[in-house]
Structure 1
Amino acid sequence: MATQRRRRSGSTRTGQRSGNRVRNRDNEGIIPVLAMAVREVERAVAGRQLTSGQRARFQAAALLARAERANVRSDESLTPAQRDTQLKRLEGLATILAQIATREPSLFSLLQEDAEVSDATRRLEREMQQQAGIEVEDEPEPEPTYPLVGRDRTALPQSVVQAQLANPFQVPDFSQTAPKVHGYLAGWELIEPLLNSFEQAAPGAPASMSLPEPRPILLPDGLDLMPHQARLLAAVAEGHRTFLLADEPGLGKTAQALLAAQAANAFPLLAIVPNVVKTNWAREAKMWTPSRSVTVVHGDGLDVDGFADIVVVNYEVLDRHVGWMGEHGFRGLVVDEAHYIKNKKSQRSQNVLEVSDRIRQRVARPLLMALTGTPLINDIDDFRAIWQMLGWIDEKRPGNVLMAALEETGFTPADHAFYPAARQSVVDLGIVRRRKVDVAADIPARRIADLPVELEGAMGRSIREAEEQLAKRLVGRYRAALEHRRTGYSIVGVDGIDHELVRRVAEREIAEGSESKTGDNVFTMVRKIGQAKAELATDYAVQLARSAGKVVFFAKHLDVMDTAEEIFARRGVGATSIRGDQTRKARDEAIDSFVNDPDTHVIVCSLTAAGVGINLQVASNVVLAELSWTNAEQTQAIDRVHRIGQTEPVTAWRIIAAQTIDAKIAELIDSKAGLAARALDGADEEATSTADVQVETLAAILTEALTEAADD
């Protein structure tokens, strides 16, 4: 926290009231600084060049404007006229901020009282205060139980304190001591030669460590492992504890990591993941390791279960939790999409490296896994942070295990033979890389992978409130209709609900909603959910494009497509699109660019305009950013990629907004198609109309609301 002391010159408090003096006062203080910041963000939004830095500037300006309004209201030295003038200027700024957010809806979440405040935002706040002549002084913080490493915000959830008090001592694992290092390479610079050994690798050099044959493993009912997954678990069972798991997307890295922790008894386990897959990690943990409890860290972690076996945290909030996570006694660490830490100078990378280092200090042989389909983004130097996180190297030299392996080669960097031998030494530490085409016999030719995401911020709250209002409206209609039918004949189920009447109420709601263009009906809510998922779905498509090649991105609504294309442009990912209003020539040019241009990584497609009649089999990954109302439309979209001539297994990543109507729609689509038909190609599917799914979705919402009301 910080306090601010204003520097005011005596002249501003004199009785002079000249026009020149008033104009000088207008140009002093924090308000002119905020106005400049707001104008800069406004220009960025208008030019569709909104960056993360501009988002931080927007939030910093909003926070400072809010604080200044409180200061002006409480400043007794101001005359009523001066106070009114300052408040009007601040109201003007607030209006502009709201207008900017209207043009860029993703900014609305930054205006909320409970919005997360990043380090970049805090830094910009201080800079603006200093520009305004405000002295910012640090307030004394209470002595923490762990060292602070340049962080503005830290958290220590009460449940974590209770867990640590319940188990204050951890038995170290010294089952295998570190290998002895003789030291003849001690004077050599080795990190650069190690990196060079990968950059200059001979064609056909092994990219993956040797893995043992699969062995039997006890799995939850209904689940099975593919052979390539079982081989990695066999290595864990034999005692291997560090892995750079670089399998291509769709080959089950999450399941391998969770089951590896089970095989190594590496609990409690910490998983550091991107925000877009945080919910999916919790779901996968419950599926693959049902006997283990899992908790997800949100914000300051007030609802964290400190006794959980598996803790999932996203990169964006990790800085608040590094302290207690370093002391919690984790015996395993998984870093998902580990290429996120390629820049060692970033705060994100430093947080991850600190957690890893502190875990390795407390546990002699923890399970450490870096998961990424793209271990290298820019150049060979991207390996550094991942290797350091795994403990293979430190800042300047190889770790003991790698150093011992290098010395066993008998070579030095002056010897040509050192480089292939050194590369193999690193690979043997745990690099595992399999491609879809290499394990094609192990996986279905087509599969749909659901990726649940949490809708947070103002948009998420708005959607949940709209769903609550919809449920209340449906219940009201049901009760009114039931009262009207008291003298008539009705069929009431064993649960006390007239399900025929429920369906009639749902049909009426659908009929009125399809005619209405305003209000919160099922169609407007589905559209809002699509808008809220757009950025998360696009983020995941960016990851796929960088790790697995070309990606087909499907959406229903134009505004979702627009958002996706803007984000792809900001991220430097080449993209083209297929829309319903295109000419045939423009459509053909877009397809040709995607198929033949190596710099066009993504094609953004309308579900209705591009669902049939085109061939996009140059890709093997599909992102379904919005759900269709029928499985047939979804299947048609996937079949643009999964068709004759496709040489690789196809994975369709379906982005689903957890705990919303989105999840109910997905469940109904699946029930109509059949889970087995989704997992295996070629199975017959039950014909289902759009209206059926729409009505049954609302019927499910109404039935659930009536059941909850009866329970209350």
Structure 2
Amino acid sequence: MAPRSQRRSGGTRTPSRRKHGRARDQEGIIPQLARASREVENAVQRGNLTRQGHVRFQVVALLVREERTRVKADTTMSEGHRSEQLQRLDGIAIILAKTATQEPALFELLGEDAVVSEAAKAMRVEMLEAAGIEVPEEEEAEPEAAPVEQRRVVPRSVISRQLANPFLTQDFSAAEREAALRARPRRLESWELIGPLLTSFERAAGGATAVMQLPDPSSLRLPGVHLMRHQAEVVAAAAAGHRTFLLADEPGLGKTAQALLAAQAADAYPLLAVVPNVVKANWAHEAELWTPQRAVTVVHGDGDGIDGFADIMVVNYDILDRHAGWLGDLGFRSMVVDEAHFIKNKTSLRSRNVLTLSKKIRARIARPLLMALTGTPLINDIEDFRAIWEFLGWINPNAPGVDLMLALEETGLTPADPGFYPAARQSVIDLGIVRRRKVDVAADIPARRIADLPVELDGALGRSIRDAERELTKRLVSRYDSALAARTSGVVVEGIDHELVRRVAGWEREDTASTDENVFAMMRRIGQAKAGLAADYAAQLARSVGKVVFFARHVDVMDIAEATFAERGIGYASIRGDQTPKVRQRNIESFLQDPDTAVAVCSLVAAGVGLNLQVASNVVLAELSWTDAEQTQAIDRVHRIGQDEPVTAWRIIASQTIDTKIAELIDSKAGLAARALDGSDEEVASSADLQLEALVALLTAALTPSGESSA
């Protein structure tokens, strides 16, 4: 590293000559980035990506972004040279995107609001200087001694819980089962069994769905809870003592509810739920809905503010490493892994953390409730089962677990016997594989349903949206107070003057109609903030159940979604209002006929009518409609004649924002169109009416004393 006296000061990066005078495009930053991106790619392919590899990936992404901006702004560069440099940068970006699809945790590092660690800052400086680029002194970062695993934290409330119960009773029944195994004849002890077990699911399926024998749920008693039969069967199995499940129902069949109620039926608290970030808020919502008597807490960041005494703890994969220490020692009696195919790569950090936690829980409690939820148990090949089976305790790294080995011994067969494979497959299924498709339980579920998926808006954009909403609410309250103070009629209204509230909301709507401060503009910003999360969920659905229709109102939201699908290697067709009829029809046919086109990205306005997209049965509504009729029109592109499966529309809702209120207002108007069509004199609400109602709801909520409901 050159002495400080030899470096230029200033706020911009400037190129300098290297020792041998080679040009920047030959030995500059781009070759450095290309080599670093390949190193990360190779590490992911080998399955040994370290924490330093995560740092290198983020630094390359940052520098690619910076270099692209610099190249575009360089007026001294010829167009040919600029095009060449941008093409080289695009190549590196493609490598990063492909790498992230193999290790999805890396996507978290690509966001504009991703935290840049001191290690990343130091590596950035090193790469720039290695490329012969002088770094301003104020940008320099002190290098860290060595890259280490992500720092571990222990929230204060967790310490309080540990101090309150320092002694956790050890369960020794596992040792008793081990002794029972040793006491039996062990014909299979010398056989390699993991390979034959996996092969049994390829050779011995015979077209049969993998479903364990489930009990009749008619005797199950859950006061105040209404379950569909297929859901109740799993809960009844947990109540009867079954303790491990690979719940592989298709999306839309209520796996989250089944897991939460299974924990309740088994009295398996505290419960740890490890989930993708995109469904973290939904898990808290579902826990409050299905098990309201059990406290739930969600772990964000370092865990500040969590309830360490909660019965249910929800944490996302991406921060699991930070909390793995105390999570393994808290004494969980159950653990659920949602979207369990996320752990298929056993060498990935997320998989190692999940397997370590499972092993600690099983070491402390012999028969904990362990549930792996996934609509996609197999992504590439049969080997994807390994990590899930190991999480459930069905296998060890190189041999069957105790229960599976006992079941295999009882068959009296070895892999040399033809009958071994169907018997082995059934032995694994009996441990707890449950797979139901929508079409299998069509009688249980409505032909068309809307499922709300709450998401949290993190980062600077989410904070700015919440700040803007608070400012809007303050402005409304100030208008209301001023109007009350200026009233000369002498009329006094007890409590909230709802007539005045509506007038104030009307004034606000009129005054801000042509500005960026109205509810329409705020909803657009919310849509932009939700776009990546909505696309991420649509990508998960596409991998789980096939074709998905993705609806958005604004072009920029569609752009973000399409970029996300491209990064994940998911084929999509775009259906927009600015397309020629020929292009539009070509894209529609691609979605309908090409098996590699998994998602149709549609404009709510341009594609909400006149399309038949019934090859899909799942719809993602990334942005809310302003009327129930518009929402229904979009869903009916899939729910129409020719559809032979129940249709689920996943409505992405930004929690703790006005998005939730808009959704409630849309639902409250849902019956209005039907009444109008049946001859009512009521007028169907317009989008402007809904904007007024949203402002009324905001102001009413602000004026309502805490603990009271608004009129």
The residue that corresponds to 2:87 in the other structure is none
One-letter code of the match for 1:506? A
Deviation at 1:23, TM superposition (A): 6.9
The residue that corresponds to 1:19 in the other structure is none
CA–CA distance in structure 1, aligned partners of residues 373 and 615 of structure 2: 25
The residue that corresponds to 2:158 in the other structure is 160
The residue that corresponds to 1:212 in the other structure is 215
One-letter code of the match for 2:567? R
CA–CA distance in structure 1, aligned partners of residues 654 and 402 of structure 2: 46
One-letter code of the match for 1:476? S
The residue that corresponds to 1:688 in the other structure is 685
Instruction: Say whether the 8 Å CA contact 2:625–2:631 is kept in structure 1.
Output: yes
* Residues 47-446 of structure 1 aligned to structure 2 (within 5 Å): 56-57=58-59, 116=115, 128=127, 136=143, 138=145, 151-174=149-172, 177-178=176-177, 179-181=180-182, 182-219=185-222, 221=224, 223-446=225-448
One-letter code of the match for 1:166? A
CA–CA distance in structure 1, aligned partners of residues 209 and 470 of structure 2: 56
**Residue aligned with 2:278, SS:** helix
Deviation at 1:305, TM superposition (A): 1.1
Deviation at 1:551, TM superposition (A): 0.5
Deviation at 1:691, TM superposition (A): 2.1
CA–CA distance in structure 1, aligned partners of residues 284 and 350 of structure 2: 22
Distance 1:54-1:577 versus aligned 2 partners, 3 A rule: farther
Instruction: Say whether the 8 Å CA contact 2:58–2:109 is kept in structure 1.
Output: no
The residue that corresponds to 2:504 in the other structure is 505
The residue that corresponds to 1:147 in the other structure is none
**Residue aligned with 1:305, SS:** coil
Name the count of aligned residue pairs. Answer: 628
CA–CA distance in structure 1, aligned partners of residues 200 and 707 of structure 2: 68
Deviation at 1:620, TM superposition (A): 0.6
Deviation at 1:524, TM superposition (A): 1.3
| TM-score normalised by L of structure 1 | 0.81
Q: Deviations over 1:373-407 (max 9, x none)?
A: 00000111100100010011111111111111111
Deviation at 1:220, TM superposition (A): 5.3
* Residues 650-669 of structure 1 aligned to structure 2 (within 5 Å): 650-669=647-666
One-letter code of the match for 1:654? R
Q: How high is the sequence identity, in percent, across the aligned residues?
A: 64
Deviation at 1:8, TM superposition (A): 5.9
CA–CA distance in structure 2, aligned partners of residues 119 and 198 of structure 1: 47
CA–CA distance in structure 2, aligned partners of residues 460 and 130 of structure 1: 35
Instruction: Say whether the 8 Å CA contact 2:29–2:127 is kept in structure 1.
Output: no
Match of 1:568 among 562, 565, 569: 565
Deviation at 1:491, TM superposition (A): 6.7
**Residue aligned with 2:227, SS:** coil
Distance 1:584-1:220 versus aligned 2 partners, 3 A rule: farther
One-letter code of the match for 1:170? L
Which ranges in structure 2 are unaligned for 5 or more consecutive residues? 8-15, 22-26, 39-52, 67-92, 94-106, 133-140
One-letter code of the match for 2:281? T
**Residue aligned with 2:304, SS:** coil
Q: Deviations over 1:330-354 (max 9, x none)?
A: 0000000000011111111111111
The residue that corresponds to 1:480 in the other structure is 482
CA–CA distance in structure 2, aligned partners of residues 586 and 217 of structure 1: 55
**Residue aligned with 2:512, SS:** helix
Deviation at 1:52, TM superposition (A): 8.9
Distance 1:578-1:24 versus aligned 2 partners, 3 A rule: closer
Q: Deviations over 1:125-146 (max 9, x none)?
A: 6974995999955489xxxxxx
Deviation at 1:625, TM superposition (A): 0.3
One-letter code of the match for 1:282? A
Match of 2:592 among 585, 591, 595: 595
Q: Deviations over 1:226-285 (max 9, x none)?
A: 111111112112211000000000101000000100111110000000001101100111
Instruction: Say whether the 8 Å CA contact 1:544–1:551 is kept in structure 2.
Output: yes
The residue that corresponds to 2:534 in the other structure is 537
One-letter code of the match for 2:217? P
CA–CA distance in structure 2, aligned partners of residues 475 and 154 of structure 1: 44
One-letter code of the match for 1:334? V
One-letter code of the match for 1:164? Q
The residue that corresponds to 2:13 in the other structure is none
**Residue aligned with 1:577, SS:** strand
CA–CA distance in structure 1, aligned partners of residues 509 and 428 of structure 2: 60
| TM-score normalised by L of structure 2 | 0.81
One-letter code of the match for 1:183? R
**Residue aligned with 1:601, SS:** strand
Deviation at 1:474, TM superposition (A): 1.8
Instruction: Say whether the 8 Å CA contact 1:315–1:348 is kept in structure 2.
Output: yes
The residue that corresponds to 1:70 in the other structure is none
CA–CA distance in structure 1, aligned partners of residues 112 and 646 of structure 2: 44
CA–CA distance in structure 1, aligned partners of residues 288 and 707 of structure 2: 30
Instruction: Say whether the 8 Å CA contact 1:537–1:655 is kept in structure 2.
Output: yes
**Residue aligned with 1:180, SS:** helix
Deviation at 1:460, TM superposition (A): 0.5
* Residues 581-620 of structure 1 aligned to structure 2 (within 5 Å): 581-620=578-617
Q: Deviations over 1:425-474 (max 9, x none)?
A: 11111000000000000111111100000000000011011111111222
One-letter code of the match for 2:555? L
1:449 aligns with 2:451: yes
Distance 1:561-1:387 versus aligned 2 partners, 3 A rule: same
Deviation at 1:553, TM superposition (A): 0.4
Distance 1:212-1:283 versus aligned 2 partners, 3 A rule: same
Deviates more, 1:695-704 or 1:507-516: 507-516
Instruction: Say whether the 8 Å CA contact 2:32–2:131 is kept in structure 1.
Output: no
**Residue aligned with 1:648, SS:** coil
The residue that corresponds to 2:24 in the other structure is none
CA–CA distance in structure 1, aligned partners of residues 356 and 109 of structure 2: 33
Instruction: Say whether the 8 Å CA contact 1:477–1:505 is kept in structure 2.
Output: yes
**Residue aligned with 1:605, SS:** strand
CA–CA distance in structure 2, aligned partners of residues 671 and 367 of structure 1: 39
Deviation at 1:413, TM superposition (A): 1.4
Deviation at 1:512, TM superposition (A): 3.5
